[in-house]
């Protein structure tokens, strides 16, 4: 039996955060996923973080600048929780005893919109 797809009215609405990351050491997409979840859980708790529907959709490595590794990424979160995710990411300053800085570039309703506005 074939599974039915949920109609658009019953699906969760997502928003996509474009973020800018600068780090003292090289990081991977998996390390960023772990760091964002850890920051959200420490700042908001497990019950609140479970509502975020948080995931790293895209991860881009850019040229190094002034001795720092520079990255940009697209994070998916559920609509209505964008500010909680932003505040949780601002708390994140260390990753494996190395400094890290995460800034939000902008918010979009689609992945392609976030890439065209904030990544390129």
- Site of tokens 């599974």: 3
pLDDT value at 110 more than 80: yes
pTM of the model: 0.86
Domains held by the chain: number: 1
Query: Would 9 be classed as within a structural domain?
Result: no
Query: Would 2 be classed as within a structural domain?
Result: no
Q: What is the sign of the dihedral through the CA atoms of 40, 73, 19 and 77?
A: negative
Query: Would 33 be classed as within a structural domain?
Result: yes
Query: Would 73 be classed as within a structural domain?
Result: yes
pLDDT value at 1 more than 90: no
36 CB-contact burial (10 Å; exposed 0-12 / middle 13-18 / buried 19+):
buried
Between CA 31 and CA 106 the distance in angstroms is: 22
Please state, rounded to an integer, the average pLDDT across all residues of the chain: 91
Looking at residue 22, what is its pLDDT?
Answer: 93
Domain residue limits at 20: 14-119
Looking at residue 67, what is its pLDDT?
Answer: 84
**Domain CATH for 70:** 3.30.70.3250
pLDDT band at 23 (very low <50, low <70, confident <90, very high): very high
φ and ψ at residue 8, rounded to 5 degrees:
-55, -30
Between CA 108 and CA 120 the distance in angstroms is: 14
pLDDT tens digit sequence for 47-98: 988 889 899 999 999 988 788 999 999 999 999 999 999 999 999 999 888 9
Query: Would 6 be classed as within a structural domain?
Result: no
The percent of residues in the chain predicted with pLDDT above 90, rounded, is: 68
Looking at residue 59, what is its pLDDT?
Answer: 95
Looking at residue 12, what is its pLDDT?
Answer: 87
Query: Would 62 be classed as within a structural domain?
Result: yes
Tell me the average pLDDT across 15-20: 95
Between CA 54 and CA 110 the distance in angstroms is: 15
């Amino acid at each position: 039996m074939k599974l039915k797809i949920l109609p658009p009215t019953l699906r969760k609405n997502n928003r996509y955060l474009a973020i800018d990351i600068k780090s003292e050491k090289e990081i991977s997409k998996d390390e960023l996923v772990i760091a964002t979840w850890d920051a959200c859980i420490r700042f908001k708790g497990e019950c609140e973080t479970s509502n975020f529907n948080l995931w790293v959709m895209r991860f881009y490595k850019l040229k190094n600048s002034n001795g720092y590794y520079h990255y940009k990424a697209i994070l998916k979160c559920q609509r209505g929780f964008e500010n909680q995710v932003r505040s949780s990411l601002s708390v994140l300053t260390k990753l494996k005893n190395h400094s890290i800085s995460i800034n939000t570039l902008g918010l979009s309703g689609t992945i392609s919109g976030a890439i065209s506005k904030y990544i390129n």
